[in-house]
Amino acid sequence: MKSILIASTSTIHGSGYLEYLLDELKDHFNSVKEILFIPYARPGGISHNDYTEIAAKAFIKIGKSVVGLHEYNDAKKAIANAEGIFVGGGNTFVLVAQLYKNEVLVAIKNAVNSGTPYLGTSAGSNICGLTINTTNDMPIVYPPSFKTLGLVPFNINPHYLDPNPDSKHMGETRETRIKEFHAFNTQPVIGIREGSWISVSDDSISLKGTLDARIFEHNKSPYEISTNTDLSFLK
């Protein structure tokens, strides 16, 4: 039975790392003692060790230990044996390039489809979709492919921001960028605002958290969905 949390972010304004999700994570990783953390996205270019330490300090609050995937000689075996998996945020292109380099995308997908509970935040959420073509990140490295885990039948845009009518910024909005994506692609895209997440339990997919999400479908006007909405219609 698949058990997946796809969160927009690891940290909301005024809160510590994963703090807003801890109650949810305590339940999500209820049967797990040790979580395998994949630190490949390296936010700000920090080391794998430093990033793993950040995750460990958060999970110790709910009685879970954390070990980094980079600490293992056999990454595929570590994933296959993991009790739970967490892929953190950072740069999505860096993350995906490293996943392909270490040949572990299939191993992660197989583990999650076999019931290993998975948490993704930001970049770790992007890879749950069909592709990473709707990430907000700069392509600072070039992965072999933009195709990723496909754990949900749509693309994801974490950290979704609404247009600010008072802003003097003249660049494209997130909505404009996603419309550009749909000029060449047809899969739906979900814009997840900070503090919200998508919960997957076997074949059930739903929006959770405090905020609405924005849905973009090919050749349709964007629209809002409220928290606790069933997203199975996007299959």
CA separation for the pair 133, 20 (Å, rounded): 27
Active-site choice (3, 122, 196, 199): 122
Q: To which residue do tokens 């009790």 refer?
A: 83
Q: Widest CA span of the chain, in angstroms?
A: 52
The answer to whether 3 touches 117, Cβ cutoff 8 Å, is yes
Active-site choice (48, 159, 206, 212): 159
Residue 208 is which amino acid?
K
Respond yes or no: is residue 137 known to be catalytic: yes
Respond yes or no: is residue 65 known to be catalytic: no
Active-site choice (3, 137, 182, 196): 137
Helix (H, G, I), strand (E, B) or coil at 203: coil
Respond yes or no: is residue 159 known to be catalytic: yes
Alpha helices in 82-230 (DSSP H): 92-101, 105-113, 123-126, 174-181
| Sequence-ordered list of residues with C-beta below 8 angstroms from that of 170, at least 6 positions apart, any chain | none
Residues with catalytic function = 122, 137, 159
